[in-house]
Amino acid sequence: MCEANVYLSREGLEELLMEGVDRIIPGDDDNIFLENVFGERRLVKARIKEMELVRHRIVLEEIKEAAVRPHLELWLEPDTDHGHFHPGEEARMKLFQGFNMRAHEAASMEGLEAFVRINGQLRELALHKHHDAMEIELGQELEGLAQIYVHYKGESELYATAVMEVGHHHHRGLQPLGLPLEIVPLDYSHARLGENYGIQVLKDGQPLAGAEVRATFNGTQSRDYPHHLKTDGEGKCRLFLTARGNYLFSVIHDNTTSTFTLIKSF
């Protein structure tokens, strides 16, 4: 007999997790896969603490998931279902307030300002409340690649940015807006499912190394941001895109939160 009983140690207490285990495979993300002689299978977030092979006893130690501490942030989403507007079409963005792309009640209007930069021109935009969201009208005359951002100054400073295509353009080398904290896409024209997407974090125009960037997408089932990335020496990080909806990247630094919505164009 060579199976073992597997125990899980939780806050010092051991409880039997699975009997007759004959296969243990440590996997990615601190996961351990267990299979026993009865064909039962489990995946637990734990590390191996102790193996007493003579007593057929293996003790795993639970890895606690970091508690989710939601904070408020702002983000933009287009009011279209296919990721871009056509010239002549009323281009409209929605502004949300919440966490992990789950919206709380509508952001209040006070202290919010919105801008668009298109073809090198910056202009202020009007915000208004519509049902449970704040809306921003971009108008019908736009044509090109619009960089939209919203700024809020309260106890902390919040920025929300997005790049929106009006008509079909393939711009590369998007210029940063010059915000105090900003997430800039590395290559705007390549935002495809099943490929890596890169962004750069700039603090006062300079790359911010070692910053934690959270990433999520429309309709995630996770309570917390499903992805936590770290910027490299050039302030860059990459994410392999696997969800169909728009993605949101978020970074916090010095009491400032800045988000960037990656609008997928299909």
Partner 1 sequence: MCKNMPPLELAIQFHGHICPGLLMGVRAAEFAQKYLDVSPDQDEELLAVVETNSCGVDAIQSILGCTFGKGNLIFRDYGKSVYTIASRDKDRAVRIAQKYQAQPHPDNVRYRELSRQGTLTEEEAAEKENLLASIFERIMTTPFEELFNWQEADFAIPEKAQIYPTVQCSICGEGVMEPRAIMNGQLYVCPTCT
- State CA 181 to chain mean position distance: 16
- Compute the distance between CA of residue 138 and CA of residue 146 in angstroms, rounded to an integer: 9
Total site size for partner 1, rule CB under 8 A: 26
Among 10, 49, 57, 86, contact with partner 1 (rule: CB under 8 A): 86
Site string for partner 1, 239-258 (x = CB under 8 A): -x-xxx--------------
| Euclidean distance between CA atoms 1 and 20, whole angstroms | 9
Per the DSSP assignment, residues forming a β-bridge with 180 are: none
133 binds partner 1 (CB under 8 A): no
Which of the stretches 29-37, 146-154, 179-187, 203-211 binds partner 1 when contact is defined by CB under 8 A?
Answer: 29-37
**Position 266 contacts partner 1 (CB under 8 A):** yes
Q: Which residues of 29-40 are buried (b: 16+ CB within 10 A; e: fewer)?
A: eeebebbbeeee
- For residue 121 the two structure tokens come to 């021109």
At its nearest, how many Å lie between partner 1 and the CB of residue 192? 6
Per rule CB under 8 A, is residue 31 in the interface with partner 1?
Answer: yes
Looking at residues 208 to 227 of the shown chain, list those that interact with partner 1 (rule: CB under 8 A): 220-223, 226
Q: Which of 110, 64, 93 is nearest to 165 (CA)?
A: 93
Q: What letter represents residue 233's amino acid?
A: G
Kindly provide the b/e burial profile for residues 104-115, where b requires at least 16 CB atoms within 10 angstroms of the residue's own CB. eebbeeeebebb
Q: What is the DSSP string of 90-128?
A: -EEEEEEEEETTEE-SPPPSTTEEEEEEETTEEEEE-EE
Q: Does 168 bind partner 1 (CB under 8 A)?
A: yes
In the range 180-209, which residues lie near partner 1 by CB under 8 A? 192-194
Least Å distance, CB 221 to partner 1, is 4
233 touches partner 1 (CB under 8 A): no
Structure tokens at 90: 């009323």
User: Which residue's CB is nearer to partner 1, number 16 or number 193?
Assistant: 193
- At 37, the amino acid letter reads V
Residue 29 in the binding site for partner 1 (CB under 8 A): yes
Cβ nearer to partner 1, comparing 29 with 124:
29
> Shortest gap between Cβ of 229 and partner 1 (angstroms)?
13
Minimum distance, C-beta of residue 81 to partner 1, in the bound complex (Å): 11
The residue range among 8-16, 23-31, 98-106, 146-154 that interacts with partner 1, by the rule CB under 8 A, is 23-31
Cβ count near 241 (within 10 Å): 18
Binding site for partner 1 (CB under 8 A): 25, 27-29, 31, 33, 41, 43, 82, 84, 86, 168, 192-194, 220-223, 226, 240, 242-244, 265-266
